[in-house]
Structures are given as structure tokens and as C-alpha cells.
Amino acid sequence: MDEINYITEEKKQALQDELKNLRTFKRKEILEALESAKALGDLSENAEYHQAREDQGKTEDRINQIEYMLQSSVVVKKHQSSKVEIGTTVIIKKDGSKDNVTYSVVGAEEADMMQNKISNKSPLGEALFGKKKGDVVSINTPKGLAKYTLIDIQ
């Protein structure tokens, strides 16, 4: 059985926009590059032709990947809950640190540490998942065991 992927409405829109761009502009661009390369003659040693074919394959793979994600993903809205789940925002504090850190819990496709978006499949995301305000979780890190207190769920 396939694993369920979760995406936000924003990610769904971004995927739809990327798909539209790939289907229209990128495909046309690649077809023009193929025609141009074919006009150069012998295809067996034609680097431009081989590069265009490789680009075509990568583009079609990405189109298929996006179509699959859009068909198989469950869209979740940002919401409040009494326990950590996809779509919630958590405020945690690492033992020994004086600062709180805020993360949005998202599906694996959207994880981005630079934007403080953690996946429900990441070690920290898995440890926090289903927990309630005040709970303490521990995860193994390369530096050893780290403990986090769940300060708040938004």
C-alpha cells in the first residue's frame, strides 16, 4: 500500500503552476531544441540533440511525478489542534537552550528547514507527532540524545 502524502493548499497551487509551465513552455522549448539539433545533421554524434533528448526525459519524468503527487496527496489546511499533526504549528524548546523555536509540521514534500517547516517523517516530526502541549520528547542526534519540550501548539 502506498504511503499517504500530505501537502498544503499553497504547495498544491505551486505544483499546479509548475505542471502548467512544464506542459506548455518547457515542452515547446525542448521540441524547438530537438528540431534545431536535428537540422545540424548526424544525430549519432550530435551533443545538442542528445542534451535535448535528456532534457525531454527529465521534463516528462517531472510531469509524471507532479501528476502523481497531485492525484495521490491529501491537502491539509493550517489549523489548530490540541495535539501535533500535519497542518499545526509547534513551539518547542530544546533542553539547555533559552530560546523557543517555532516549526510548521508539513508533509515530506514541503519540508524546508530554512522556512522552519519540518516533515512529519523527520526524526523530530515523528517524535512530536500526536503529542500534546507540555509533553517532552527525545530524539537521537549525531551529537547524542536531545530532549525537546512542547511549549505550545497553534
pLDDT, tens digit, 9 for 90 and up, residues 119-152? 999 999 999 999 999 999 999 988 889 999 999 9
Cell (9 digits) for 147: 530532549
Taking the alpha carbons at both ends of the chain, their separation in whole angstroms is 32
Judge whether 82 lies within some domain: no
Which CATH number do you get for residue 128? 3.10.50.30
pTM of the complete model:
0.73
Which of 14, 43, 76 is where one domain is finished?
76
Structural domain of residue 56, as residue ranges? 5-76
Do residues 65 and 99 both lie within one domain? no
Judge whether 110 lies within some domain: yes
Q: What is the pLDDT of residue 1?
A: 44
Judge whether 32 lies within some domain: yes
Contact 145/139 with Cβ under 8 angstroms?
A: yes
Do residues 111 and 138 both lie within one domain? yes
